[in-house]
Amino acid sequence: MYDTAILSGARSREVCKQTTEAICFDIQEGENRLNALGTHLLLDLKDCQAECLNDVEHIRTMMVTAAKMAKATIIDNRFHQFSPFGVSGVIIIAESHMSIHTWPEYRYAAVDLFTCGQSIQSDVAAHYLIDQLQARQPSLVEIKRGMLAWEGGPLPHKPNSCDQEEEGNLHGRSEELQMVL
């Protein structure tokens, strides 16, 4: 359905197909397995609904909803409506950021979903955005960022699971975020 790829450094890699929509690389270097600090999803959304792409409030609501669906911890957001058309915006999340830039005149949107840790479901956000913008020709590229040799599995950047709090989308991290906010 989607044009999907995962890119990494020039290390040797064994490619394995997990599903029809995703490819993974098992990257090895000697005895140490390389692990990523983050995942960067790049979406090229072509042939979208033009009216949606030029509505700053619709784009803001859609991006905030996507971040919540991914279980990201929203810190702030900033969106701008260009004249005569187009929207740019960013959701700052504790786990990194999510951004969008639209060109309604070309029915195109570029979306970046950069997340760190193991608990964020950026693929859920990506599929939601593709559906909401009614992209008829979506493509998705996944880049592993911060590839480091680390023994013992995933890098301990963020916890693998967080307890969700009832309000504020803080996912059990209110004490940590008080220092940030």
116 is catalytic: yes
Catalytic member of 40, 48, 96, 171: 96
Q: Which residues pair with 25 in a beta bridge?
A: 15
Q: How far apart are CA 181 and CA 175, in angstroms?
A: 10
Give 101's strand partners: 88, 110
Cis omega (within 30 of 0) on the bond before 84? yes
What's the number of CA atoms in the CB half-sphere (13 Å) around residue 63?
31
Is 96 known to be catalytic? yes
d(CA 76, CA 147): 27
Decide if 37 contacts 118 (C-beta within 8 A): no
> Does the active-site annotation cover 119?
no
The residue from 40, 48, 52, 116 that is catalytic is 116
Of the residues 24, 88, 97, 101, only one is catalytic, namely 101
Query: Are the C-beta atoms of 50 and 107 separated by less than 8 Å?
Result: yes
**Residues tagged active-site:** 96, 101, 116
